[in-house]
Amino acid sequence: MKEKLLTTREASQYLGITEAEVISLSERGVIPAYKVGGIYLRFKKEQLDFIKDSMIPAVKEVSQEYYFLDRLSDFFYYNDFYILSLLIISVLVYLIFSL
């Protein structure tokens, strides 16, 4: 009988963490992952049981701590042009109306 491997989404639901956290943990080697077709990550449920029981509470505390900082960093990274443009326009409007 063939063993069913879990997808990233199924693994994240099983562990109670986000898909991004599952991918990050697999890249760091915390969760053993298998690539199917060279790109699709799959996970064995037995290995996830061990991770779920032993390591996820500690990982979850750390990931939630950095989650806000990561989101803030991503916001500035992807919107830096708009933020800079808004600042330049604000300075120009101030200079125009202050004269």
Hey, CA dihedral for 10, 36, 58, 21, is it positive or negative? negative
| Structural domain includes residue 23 | yes
pLDDT computed for residue 89 by the predictor: 97
| Structural domain includes residue 2 | no
| Structural domain includes residue 1 | no
Tell me the whole-structure pTM to 2 decimals.
0.51
| Structural domain includes residue 18 | yes
| Structural domain includes residue 38 | yes
| Structural domain includes residue 48 | yes
The boundaries of the domain holding residue 20 are 8-98
Looking at the chain, list the stretches that DSSP marks H as alpha helix, in order from N- to C-terminal side: 8-15, 19-27, 45-54, 56-98
Cβ neighbors of 35 (< 8 A, separation 6 or more) are: 41, 42
> pLDDT of 78-98, one tens digit each?
899 999 999 999 999 999 999
Tokens 């409007």 sit at which residue?
93
| Structural domain includes residue 90 | yes
pLDDT computed for residue 57 by the predictor: 55
What total number of domains does the chain contain?
A: 1
> pLDDT of 13-71, one tens digit each?
888 888 888 888 888 888 888 888 777 788 888 888 887 777 655 555 555 566 777 78
| Structural domain includes residue 3 | no
